[in-house]
Amino acid sequence: MSRANILDTRTINYLELIGNGKGYRVPPYQRDYSWSEEQWEDLWNDVLELRGRRDDRHYMGALVVEGTNDREFLIIDGQQRMATLSILALAVIGKLRAMADRGIEPAPNRERANELRNRFIGEKDPASLVESSRLFLNATDNAFYQDYLVQLRQPLNPRGLPKSNRLLWDCFRYLGAQLDKVSELKDDGEALARVLSETVARQLLFILITVDDELNAYTVFETLNARGLELTTTDLLKNYLFSRVKVSSDLDVLQRRWRSLVATVATERFPEFLRYHLLCEQPKIRSPRLFKLVRDRVRTPQDVFALLDALEVRAELFAALSDPNHGYWAELPSAKPFVRDLNLFRVRQMTPVLFATWERFSREDFVRVLKLMSVISFRYTVVSGLNTNALEPAYHEAAKAVLDGRATNLATLFERLEPIYVDDGKFRNDFALLSVDTGGQRKKLVKYILARLEEDASGRSCDPDTDPATIEHVLPENPLDDWAQHFPRERWEAAVYRLGNLTLLESAANRRVGNATFIEKIRAYSQSAYALTRQIPEIAPEQWTLDLLDARQHRLAERAAHLWRADFA
């Protein structure tokens, strides 16, 4: 990140941040106040630890603002911290006024309250006598903040407030209660004022980053995101889109449609959704360039609503592709197994192709495309473990060809995807060496592979999600000394998770044979309901060796090559 992209980067304390007439505004449609007791408690404990230790400092993290002039700033990141510190200042001011009302140093405490308000909150308008503020929150929270918190007025019905307004009020009450718990602050206005004027004002430090436009704000965000920056990519994209629309009625419509869209695709997945949407038309869209691309393409209110129209068409499908049980598939149940497969393989690069074929192909052909995506992914990613960087360009080209009318059926689509379709020879060789740890999430993958192979061998259904079988390791994960002759330790570790060493077995039999000898195991295998398991005593009637494991896995690889095959290959 070049220095030219940043107006100023420096360490600054809270007093310098809020002083000298500076004003801060949260963009109207940035997210609502969301801190709760966990964050309030952390902040309060930091303040307590600093009290009485004037040489200590505590960093509050990066604060990113966009300067509109030398005194007015938009808060790009840090609104939660700024709002909470402002509420802490108001809680202190409220306590000082309460002390004065109770007759405790009335004049000095009122003066302290007024000076602190002028310094940290804002000044009173000499005509209306209404307290002003240097901080303005978003569209949802600002009216409550200005009309109640800044004026130190209690709302008539706190329970009826919108959630974020209620959190603001609860924060004020929480911090006031914490101040009351510190005995030496209870009736000592000077000590109480010092909490704000010294501890908070001078000992809490920010890294202030001032940027000159939204694009540079996004660049800063990408750089600092791994360090816990509050603002999300979705927030920044949303703020930019809303900044293009100026008419109040249009903003209301945009707000309703935006909420519906993000609720459908999920806030945290919106950038991924937007990227795959754009990859249908444009290649090589990297996440760090997403904001710049949107800014270049979306400049007018018409552009904003056109983008929203296009996203809404694909949002429900995007959400459904992550869930085989989504209601979207109720009328297309044949899609469910392949949606399950793609999620099990943890692959998403094909999403642009699925967007395009859903819109251009029949529903029957769309299911065949899902199957093709499952086969390609299983061969390329799961078994051969090839470089996934080659996938997005291929899927982009295929999606664009479908949308442009150059790929009008499954055969012409496959022509464009053939370069990433692993051929049978390589697939068999890679499958014959495949090793998959059976712990954690990978256990589901192993059961899926074994269940598909079992279906092919037995001719009966074997659903990996519902079949009661367990995964049996012929060579146990913790073998006894009897196994050492054929599998010394250095060879055992390489063999135990090979596919040729794994099979399906009834749970009771699996518990019974456990770490038993091979001869004891094959008695259970011969009585199993699973065809692949019954074949093991035929392959190895007396002993299990690495050569026999290899032989079995090569046989499974032959079966896999015709089982996971594209219809057009």
Last residue of a domain, one of 206, 227, 248: 227
Question: Quick one: average pLDDT of 293-311?
Answer: 93
Question: Quick one: average pLDDT of 294-309?
Answer: 93
In this structure, the number of other CB atoms found within 10 A of the CB of residue 419 comes to 10
Last residue of a domain, one of 227, 252, 273: 227
Question: Quick one: average pLDDT of 18-36?
Answer: 86
Q: Within a domain: residue 156?
A: yes
> What does the pLDDT look like over 160-180, one tens digit per residue?
999 999 999 999 999 999 999
Q: Which is it for strands 58-67 and 6-13: parallel, antiparallel or unpaired?
A: unpaired
Q: Which of 2-11, 217-226, 398-407 has the highest mean pLDDT?
A: 398-407
How many domains are contained in the chain?
A: 3
Same domain (yes/no): 409, 283 = yes
> What does the pLDDT look like over 104-126, one tens digit per residue?
999 999 999 999 999 999 876 65
Instruction: Check residue 226 and give its pLDDT.
Output: 43
Q: Within a domain: residue 51?
A: yes
Task: Tell me how far CA of residue 218 lies from CA of 226, 233, 292, in angstroms.
Answer: 14, 8, 8
Instruction: Check residue 223 and give its pLDDT.
Output: 56
Same domain (yes/no): 327, 214 = no
Instruction: Check residue 65 and give its pLDDT.
Output: 87
Strand order across the beta sheet in which 72-77 lies: 6-13, 204-211, 58-67, 72-77, 23-25, 135-136
Residue 569 has pLDDT above 80, yes or no: no
Same domain (yes/no): 245, 366 = yes
Same domain (yes/no): 156, 211 = yes
Calpha distance 518→482 (Å, rounded): 9
Question: Quick one: average pLDDT of 34-61?
Answer: 90
pTM for the whole thing?
0.73
Same domain (yes/no): 202, 260 = no
Q: Within a domain: residue 569?
A: no
Instruction: Check residue 399 and give its pLDDT.
Output: 98
Instruction: Check residue 1 and give its pLDDT.
Output: 39
Calpha distance 464→462 (Å, rounded): 6
Same domain (yes/no): 370, 448 = no
Query: What average pLDDT does the structure give for the chain?
Result: 89
Same domain (yes/no): 253, 220 = no
Instruction: Check residue 159 and give its pLDDT.
Output: 87
Instruction: Check residue 129 and give its pLDDT.
Output: 56
Same domain (yes/no): 256, 221 = no
Dihedral sign of CA atoms 483, 489, 491, 493 in order: positive
Residue 535 has pLDDT above 90, yes or no: yes
Q: Within a domain: residue 129?
A: yes
Same domain (yes/no): 256, 318 = yes
Same domain (yes/no): 128, 219 = yes
Rg, Å, the chain Cα set = 32
Say how many Å lie between the first and final Cα of the chain, rounded: 47
Q: Within a domain: residue 353?
A: yes
**Which residue segment(s) compose the domain that 423 sits in?**
233-428
Lowest mean pLDDT among 52-61, 133-142, 336-345: 52-61
Q: Within a domain: residue 568?
A: no
Residue 131 has pLDDT above 70, yes or no: no
The residues facing 74 across adjacent strands are 25, 66
Same domain (yes/no): 206, 259 = no
Last residue of a domain, one of 386, 410, 428: 428
Same domain (yes/no): 404, 289 = yes
